[in-house]
Amino acid sequence: MHSNDILRILGRALVAGLTLATLGRSRAALADETCQSPYMAMITSQEDFVYVWTLGKQGVGDGSDKLVSIDVRPGSKTYGKVIHKVSVGGRHEAHHGGFTDDRRYFWAGGLDTSKIFIFDVYSDPARPRLHKTINDFVSKSGGVVGPHTHYALPGRMLIAALSNDKDRGGRTALVEYSNNGDYVATHWIPTDEKPGGAKVDKLADGYGYDVRVLPRRNVMLTSSFSGWNNYMMDFGKMLQDKEAMKRFGQTVTVWDLHARKPRKVLQVPGAPLEIRFALQPQHNYAFTTAALTSKIWLIYEDERGEWQAKEVADIGDPTKVPLPVDSSIGVDDKSLWVTTFMDGKARRFDISDPFHPKQIYEETIGSQLNMVSQSWDGKRVYFTSSLLANWDKKGEQDQQFLKAYTWDGQKLNPRFTVDFYAEALGRPHLMRFGAYALYGSGQTGAPEKTMAKKMP
């Protein structure tokens, strides 16, 4: 690696670290999402766009997966409207994606075909374009299937996958690429047969889902879900299949971030999904939610420096299986949004005491609900509806939307709704924020005045 590249990466990491460390003292209106990689360039003003990675549906528009841009600039003539869309051709089970560390490119994966689509969001942030398609993810990675989380590391994209090409089950790996889209390495998640040096509390199932890092503790966490055989199955059929219901993840793995080596496998039953690290520099812990048991789990470093897992709260009534699917932590580490798919609700928890979260608010957003994204200042909250093509509800319950709210400290206040079926777009899933300010002035269609400085 060239010395200038090393300095650039170290500079970006330092900026990210200082931003988090001084967050409590800063009076700037920070707008970026709270779940992003600390290595990424940060939006320090009002976000201009919400990019939505959208699953196509046969008979709806062109039927293809697509990246949709929605204008969220206050005062804009197209505020709350779709201003651009770029289709990738075909349906690939569009699910998750993420930016490179310099935020110039957005990577998005298909859980069914295992194709990865790289979009240029730098040349014209309002109108992303398809830059490159990776068609050989499975063969290059050594049999990994279902690229899920795309997470920025310095000069790298780390992809947490869901399955494999041998049995289409849940055993899988982390796959590392360069920002240019070149394959680098595969890191298999530990199993009982191949623990890879990790200490195993009880079971190492080898399942994967999300990945998040805490650089100052040299820690990386991965969670676990289920393989292709399950996530591509009809939801109702799967619920009646006793063998299928046994094929869900039960673990969170603690890794050595820099070495990419597993340290410990923690027992977190019930398919732990999104991982959300606390953001304040004195807090060495993260939260995850277990989909099948409707529990909040705390993953924390104890006084001996050992990482542990503890069940700390219920989400709604677990006997009714509300199915928690996403979460978003407040920048002060005092609040946590949790969305539940089956009842379409957003719940807000007070997590000031991380060992004893308490629900303080709930709101029904729609008949079904999946993703939540909030701004750093906590004042704007966005929700989308789609989970998986074969898991979404049927008939009138199949609502597909992006809904925007403001949070006034007491309740959610509706701002706008985009009906993705009415707009002939498909099923909206992952959201990510975009802004002209990240790339300086002079971009096509950029406003004359920008609210934030150019990031390094």
Phi, psi of 258 (to 5 degrees): -70, -40
Rounded-to-integer distance, Cα 95 and Cα 99, Å: 14
Residue type, 21: A
* In the chain, where the domains are located: 28-439
pLDDT of residue 448 exceeding 50, the answer is no
Strand-pairing partners, residue 209, are none
In three-state secondary structure terms, 456 is: coil
Confidence at 29, pLDDT banded by 50, 70, 90:
low
What does the block give as tokens for 319? 């006997």
Per-residue model confidence as pLDDT tens digits over 201-214: 899 999 999 999 99
How confident is the model over 97-119, as a mean pLDDT?
98
Contacts of 345 (CB under 8 A, 6+ apart): 316, 322, 339, 362, 363, 364, 365, 369
Residue with tokens 């924020």: 433
The dotted CATH code for 28-439 is 2.130.10.10
In angstroms, rounded to a whole number, what is the distance separating the alpha carbons of residues 200 and 12?
A: 35
Kindly report, residue by residue over 265-303, the tens digit of the pLDDT: 999 999 999 999 999 999 999 999 999 999 999 999 999
The pLDDT-based confidence of 440 (bands split at 50, 70, 90) is confident
> Taking the CB of residue 14, how many other CB atoms lie within 10 A of it?
11
Q: Which helix (H) or strand (E) holds 437?
A: none
Asked if the model's pLDDT at residue 11 lies above 70, the reply is no
Higher pLDDT residue, 1 or 272? 272
Q: Are strands 412-419 and 401-407 parallel, antiparallel or unpaired?
A: antiparallel
Rounded to an integer, what distance in angstroms lies between the CA atom of residue 262 and that of residue 265? 8
pLDDT of res. 23? 40
pLDDT digits (tens, 9 = 90+) for 133-164: 999 999 999 999 999 999 999 999 999 999 99
- Per-residue CA distances from 350 to 228, 330, 413 (Å): 35, 10, 19
The mean pLDDT of 175-203, rounded to a whole number, is 97
Per residue in 295-330, is it b (16+ CB within 10 Å) or e — as a string?
bbbbbbbeeeeebebeebbebbeeeebbbbbbbbbb
Look at residue 273 in the predicted model and tell me its pLDDT. Answer: 98
What are the tens digits of pLDDT across the range 251-262? Answer: 999 999 999 999
Give the percent of the chain with pLDDT over 90: 87
Note the pLDDT tens digit of each residue in 303-340: 999 999 999 999 999 999 999 999 999 999 999 999 99
Mean pLDDT of all residues in 82-105: 98
**pLDDT at res. 30:** 62
Half-sphere exposure of 54 (CA within 13 A, CB side): 36
Given this model, what pLDDT does residue 144 score? 98
Q: What is the mean pLDDT of residues 103-131?
A: 97
The model's confidence at residue 45, banded by pLDDT at 50, 70 and 90, is confident
